[in-house]
Amino acid sequence: MKYEEIIKEIETRIADGSLMPGERLPSVRALSKELQCSINSILKAYTELEKEHKVYVVPKSGYFLVGTSSKQQSQPSGLIDFSSAGPDRSKMPYRDYQHCMNQAIDLYKEKMFQYSEPLGLLSLRHQLSRQLQDLQVFADPARIAVVTGSQQALDLLVSLPFPNGKKEICVEQPTHFSFIDSITSRGLPFAGIEMTDQGINLDHLEEMFSNRSIKCFYTVSRFQNPTGYCYSNEEKKRMVELAQMYDVYIIEDDYMGDLDTRRKADPMFAYDPSGRVIYTKSFSKVLLPGLRLGTAVLPETMIEDFTKAKFAADVHTPVLTQGALEIYLESGMYHTHIQQLRQQYKRKGMILKQACLDYLPKGTTFSGAESGFYSTIKLPGRMKAKFLADHLKKKNVLVQDATDMYLPPYKKENLIRISVSQVEDQHIGEGVRKIGEGIEELLGKTVYFM
């Protein structure tokens, strides 16, 4: 038996539970006897598994399976999950990033055991400065901060004083849970502006900027969460003009800008790179969420305060993950990965859009579906999203009730969020059809209405 076959045999035992994480593997001599092969073949197989970080060796004790004792929960058969909004697990660059992590350990082995710069490794910030140019974001590395996920940047920014001396935070409604929590947990003053399938009312935005003490306007400029809406260049330009006119800062969350397939689509930052627009970006939705890596481009006047806040929060983002990201970006792996994801999510978005047109009943509207990552369905009349979500669960379809994605005064209960990022293409239409059927089944039952 060749060592490749031995590896497959061990992997089979792992898959069927015969070998559990943390357990000791059979000794080299015992497995050689059991499989009737040479000791050298077993040693070769164990060595290869060790290189792949699947097993580790304890001197004088043997080889052990890497991992914890908890088994991963597999998804129930037939379940269509529109509620999970993470990246497609099958398209994540695990092996490529593993190589980068290994290189980073060698490259930064000394820095890993000492404190680093609060705003991130300078070499990574230089790399990010070059990388962001592809998104029409031109910024000096001194203005770039590496953060532990872009949500950390947002969470720090909302609590900082702004140069305009104003107090209120203007927020699209609805918006994602974590930003809602950042505001409400601190009791910060806010003002909401309605986000529809047609974007926001810019006249209303101007009225708010001119009549209220708005220190910053938080906006997700592309693939808004939860609506999936993408602003046009004209809309972005007008928002920047209003911000300049009324001394308001813009926090532009461009967490998925890499997935935009529109060639001439620019971020708001491109219309005012001086500091009026604070640009944030995440790598979680397009790389590996568990890495918790993001970046922010700050106004020079806020760098000192942000640095102090970042240091107080966690001193600095882990050096190892920073180093791996630098290598991943510099090698060109990221560019190749993004090109593949753009086409994948664009295809999913097209399938979703057609399915919504085909299967959603009259009185129902939908937004987004440009990337397949986020879309919303507005339910007819006064139907409650919570009741529909519970009803669909019985049909093996999961959707997200978007009620908690509103700040309290603006709350609506007739919106569901869906994401097809983790749904196989062939199941998207079937899932939307079941959503449409579920809506029709509840239409005649007043108990499911507000």
Residues 283 and 371 in one domain: no
What confidence tens digit (pLDDT) does each residue in 248-277 have? 999 999 988 888 888 789 999 999 999 999
Q: Enter the DSSP assignment of 161.
A: -
Within a domain: 188: yes
Residues 266 and 125 in one domain: yes
Within a domain: 95: no
Within a domain: 369: yes
Residues 137 and 242 in one domain: yes
Which of 200-204, 286-290, 310-314, 332-336: highest mean pLDDT? 200-204
Residues 320 and 349 in one domain: no
pLDDT at 71 over 60: no
**What tokens were used for 282?**
């995440």
The domain total for the chain is 3
pLDDT at 323 over 60: yes
- We report the CATH number of the domain holding residue 436 as 3.90.1150.10
Q: How confident is the model at residue 70 (pLDDT cuts 50, 70, 90)?
A: very low
Amino acid identity, residue 242? L
pLDDT of residue 105: 86
Residues 306 and 342 in one domain: no
Domain boundary pick from 305, 331, 357: 331
What confidence tens digit (pLDDT) does each residue in 49-62 have? 887 778 777 776 78
Range of the domain at 388: 335-448
Residues 246 and 297 in one domain: yes
Within a domain: 93: no
Burial class of residue 382 in the structure, from the number of CB atoms within 10 Å of its CB (0-12 exposed, 13-18 middle, 19+ buried): exposed
pLDDT at 304 over 90: yes
Q: Is 404 helix (H, G, I), strand (E, B) or coil?
A: helix
Burial class of residue 88 in the structure, from the number of CB atoms within 10 Å of its CB (0-12 exposed, 13-18 middle, 19+ buried): middle
d(CA 371, CA 343): 9
Mean of all residue pLDDT scores within the chain: 89
Specify which residues 294 forms β-bridges with.
Answer: 147, 282
Residues 313 and 375 in one domain: no
**Across 266-381, where does the E strand assignment appear?**
277-282, 294-297, 365-368, 375-378
pLDDT at 349 over 70: yes
Residues 133 and 51 in one domain: no
Domain boundary pick from 284, 307, 331: 331
- Measured in degrees and rounded to the nearest 5, phi and psi for residue 220 equal -100, 105
Within a domain: 345: yes
pLDDT at 446 over 70: no
Whether the pTM exceeds 0.85: the reply is no
- What mean pLDDT do residues 378-395 have? 94
CA atoms within 13 A of residue 40's CA, in its CB half-sphere: 0
Within a domain: 414: yes
What confidence tens digit (pLDDT) does each residue in 124-182 have? 999 999 999 999 999 999 999 999 989 999 999 999 999 999 999 999 999 999 999 99
- We report the CATH number of the domain holding residue 14 as 1.10.10.10
Within a domain: 346: yes
Percent of the chain with pLDDT over 70: 94
**What tokens were used for 418?**
């869906």
Residues 277 and 422 in one domain: no
**What tokens were used for 334?**
């990221």
In this structure, how many other beta carbons lie within 10 angstroms of the beta carbon of residue 77?
6
Q: How many helices (H) and strands (E) does the chain have?
A: 14, 15
Q: How confident is the model at residue 369 (pLDDT cuts 50, 70, 90)?
A: low
